[in-house]
Each structure stands twice: as C-alpha cells, then as structure tokens.
Amino acid sequence: MQPLIEVRNLRYRYEDGTVALKGVDFRLDPGESVALFGANGSGKTTFVMHLNGLLGAEGGDGRATVSVCGMPVEKRNLAAIRRKIGMVFQDSESQLFMPTVLEDVAFGPLNLGLDPAAAVERARTALARTGMAEAAARAPYHLSAGEKRRVAIAGILAMDPEILVLDEPTTFLDPPARRSLAELLHNLPQAKILVTHDISFARSICTRAVFFLNGAVAATGSIGDVVEQFGWGFTPEKNAPGR
C-alpha cells in the first residue's frame, strides 16, 4: 500500500538562520487521520507547508525527500500535488479572499481548468456538503467564524482532494461550532492531518498523533499515549472554582 505522504529527514532553516525543522520523518497512509501536537513554534505549521510546496519546493538539500502520492514535491509537480492536498489555514479571513462565497469556493475548480459552469456546479455541491448552500451569494466578511471555516473547507472539497490538512481549525469556534465541525470532518472520507491544540477535538477524528518538539518529532503513537507522555492532558485541581 503506497503511502499518501512520505517525508524523510526534512530540514528547514528560516532566512534569519533559525532552524525550524531538524530532520523530520513522517508517513500518512490512505484513510488515516493524524493529529499534530506541539507547542507554538515547534514547527508544526512549517512542516505542513512543505507538504504542498508552499515551502521548500525550490530544492533544498538533496538528502531530504517529501513526496505526495508518489510525486516528489518540486516545482514541476506542484500543480498536481495541490490537487491532491487541500489545505485549510488558521485564519479563514485570509483564505476567503473573493467577494462572494460562491466565487471563493469556485476559485479552486477554475484553477483546475474547469469552465465556469462546471466550476459553479462543483462549488454548489461542496457548499451543500458542508451545509453552507444558502450562503452562496453572501460576502465572506459577514459570516461567523464557524461558517467561514465551513466555506474554507468547501473551497478545498471542491477540488476533490485525497488529503485534507487543517491548521488549528477550532480557532475562534464556540463549542457548538466545534462539535458540528468535528462531525463534518468525521464524515469526510479523505485522509486528514490536523494541526491542533484541541485534544478532545482531535480524539473525535484522529487515530494517531505526532508530537513536535523544537522542530523534531518527539513521539508518535495513539493520542492518549502521546498526551500522557508530554503532560498535555488538562486535569483541574480538586478544589478549583466552578468544579
């Protein structure tokens, strides 16, 4: 079974010299859902941006490899790779950059070469899939955080990817919105990578976790084990207020 994503010895250094990634290995199999945990600045987002060539597609050192669906992540494969991997970023406001929801969701299909009518069709289907069909003519600015998140996901689904990557998807979401987002993601068949701090959210969707520490993978395993190992569980004191 060929892995969807295979990363070997990925290193990355920022322009100012700070080392962001120190030899990361990673693997994603079809249908899997993986959570990436780690402190802010531990390299999770930097890592994830290598998967669709937003970083590192210019070459880098010859020893590192990132391949997606069997294709190495380099300039000539980027168009095909970005079809396979859909990425939802933390700030939805910057992701929904078109004047209306429909135009935004149709952006991906149009870039894939579909004609406007087919692109609109795909967009409407994706919006229906995420429960946002009525919002098609609205301006993104007026949507709630949860609605924006759903439209962003629709924008990715419209491209029919095999892998979904979501960077901190529960940011700004209230508990009901988190719940319905978890439900939505749970029902999507694609393989998923979830960068998150929200452990209970991750538990409802992901089967395993990878823990980043200072730019390297410190542990992989079940969510429970990883959380236990790094003390990421949250246990209130017995006499804490409001308990």
Contact positions toward other proteins, by CB under 8 A? 49, 52, 54, 79, 82-83, 86-87, 89, 91, 93-95, 97-100, 102-103, 106-108, 110-112, 116, 119-120, 139-141, 155-156, 159
Name the residue nearer to other proteins (CB basis): 93 or 225: 93
3-state secondary structure the chain: CCCCEEEEEEEEECCCCCEEEEEEEEEECCCCEEEEEECCCCCHHHHHHHHCCCCCCCCCCCCCEEEECCEECCHHHHHHHHHHEEEECCCHHHHCCCCCHHHHHHHHHHHCCCCHHHHHHHHHHHHHHCCCHHHCCCCHHHCCHHHHHHHHHHHHHCCCCCEEEEECCCCCCCHHHHHHHHHHHHCCCCEEEEECCCHHHHHHHCCEEEEEECCEEEEEECHHHHHHHCCCCCCCCCCCCCC
CB of 48 to other proteins, least distance (A): 11
CB of 198 to other proteins, least distance (A): 21
User: Measured from the CB atom, is 140 or 227 closer to other proteins?
Assistant: 140
Instruction: Report the residue number, 25 or 91, with the smaller CB distance to other proteins.
Output: 91
Minimum CB distance to other proteins, residue 63 (Å)? 26
State the minimum distance, in angstroms, from the CB of residue 66 to other proteins. Answer: 15
Q: Residue 143 CA to chain centroid, in angstroms?
A: 21
What is the distance between the alpha carbons of residues 43 and 34, in angstroms, rounded to a whole number? Answer: 16
Q: Give 114 or 217: the residue with its C-beta nearer to other proteins.
A: 114
Minimal distance in Å, beta carbon 229 to other proteins?
Answer: 32
Is-contact 12 54, C-beta < 8 A? no
Task: Decide whether 141 or 234 has the Cβ nearer to other proteins.
Answer: 141
Query: 109 vs 215, which CB is nearer to other proteins?
Result: 109
Nearer to other proteins, 14 or 97 (CB): 97
CB of 3 to other proteins, least distance (A): 21
Least distance in angstroms from the C-beta of 226 to other proteins: 27
Asked if residue 178 lies in contact with residue 131, where contact means CB atoms within 8 angstroms, the answer is no
